[in-house]
Amino acid sequence: MKKSTWRKFMRGNSVQRDLDEIKTLALRYIKEETIQPIKEMGRFVLWGALGSLLVGFGYLFLLFGALRFLQDQFKVLDGTLSWIPYLIVVALAALVIALTLWRIISGTAKRRLKDTK
> Which region, left, alpha or beta, applies to residue 79 given φ > 0 means left and ψ of -120 to 50 means alpha?
left
pLDDT tens-digit map of 73-113: 988 888 889 999 999 999 999 999 999 899 888 876 666 66
Q: Give the domain range for residue 98.
A: 3-116
CA terminus-to-terminus distance, the chain: 63
Arithmetic mean of pLDDT over the chain: 85
pTM of the model: 0.59
d(CA 87, CA 60): 15
User: Structural domain tally of the chain?
Assistant: 1
